[in-house]
Each structure stands twice: as C-alpha cells, then as structure tokens.
C-alpha cells in the first residue's frame, strides 16, 4: 500500500530530530506521496523563515521533496470525503484542524495510509489508516 506523508514527519526530518535511516522496514517498499496541503504547509515554513540562510536551507529541502514525490491535489473526491467526515465529527465534538482533515481526506480518497508523527488528530479520522513514525 502507498502512503501519504504528513508535514510533521518532514519537518522533524528537516530539523534533524528524525533520522530517515530509522524508518520502519516496510517504508522501503512504499510508494510515498504528499498532499498539496502538506506542500503548502512546507512552503509556508519557507516563506516565514526570518533569516536568509534558514530560508535557503528550508527551500532546498522542500524543493528536493517536491521533486522526489508526487503531490496529490485536494480534488472533488477528497472534498466529498472531507465534507462527510467534517459533518460526522462536528456534532460529536471531535475537533480536527481543517488542514489535517483535508490531508486525511486526500489519503482516504487515494486509498493511501497516512504517515505522521501527530498522535492527536489523525487517529480520530474514521476510515483513515494511520502509521505513526
């Protein structure tokens, strides 16, 4: 099964607090992609960098990722799944950030599991297969 990788993993890799060499063994056999929402979150981090040196390092890192992996859009199929999940979770008082819910819906729409370090939000999304790294 393929996987959608969340920005939480990528940010920790970029900061040096997560070593790609420690990835679970099954990761080598996965087709990995990222959502357009994750790409936006990473690019936002580039633009928010206060120092030119940090910005250049972040931008180089993000651009390598964008070249290496496909970026999946938040399309109409994902939007339909997102709306349904949102409508199901809201009356139950389950709060998930809008971007995380969009990323989760993108993973479900594409039949992918989600790789994340976020133990709070993504596991609350019904039907989403989550792999915590």
Q: What is the rounded average pLDDT of the residues 77-84?
A: 98
Q: Structural domain tally of the chain?
A: 1
Q: So what's the pLDDT on residue 18?
A: 67
Kindly report the pTM of this predicted structure: 0.90
Q: So what's the pLDDT on residue 12?
A: 86
Tell me the C-alpha distance between 105 and 3, whole Å.
13
Q: The domain spanning residue 40 has which CATH number?
A: 3.40.50.1010
Q: In the predicted model, is pLDDT for residue 97 greater than 60?
A: yes
The per-residue pLDDT for range 1-54, each reduced to its tens digit, is 799 999 999 998 888 766 666 555 555 567 999 999 999 999 999 999 988 899
CA distances from 116 to 4, 52, 55 (A): 9, 29, 24
Residue 100: give the domain boundaries: 3-132
Sheet with 71-72, side-by-side order of all strands: 71-72, 32-35, 3-5, 113-116, 130-132
């Amino acid at each position: 099964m393929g996987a959608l990788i969340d920005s939480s993993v990528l940010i920790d890799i970029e900061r040096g607090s997560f070593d790609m060499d420690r990835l679970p063994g099954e990761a080598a056999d996965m087709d990995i992609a990222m959502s357009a929402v994750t790409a936006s979150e990473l690019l936002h981090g580039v633009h928010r960098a206060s120092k030119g040196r940090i910005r250049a390092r972040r931008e180089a890192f993000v651009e390598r990722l964008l070249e290496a992996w496909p970026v999946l859009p938040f399309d109409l199929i994902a939007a339909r799944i997102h709306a349904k999940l949102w409508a199901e979770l809201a009356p139950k008082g389950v709060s998930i950030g809008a971007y995380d819910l969009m990323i989760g819906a993108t993973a479900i729409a594409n039949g992918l599991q989600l790789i994340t370090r976020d133990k709070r939000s993504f596991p609350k999304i019904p039907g989403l297969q989550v792999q915590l790294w």
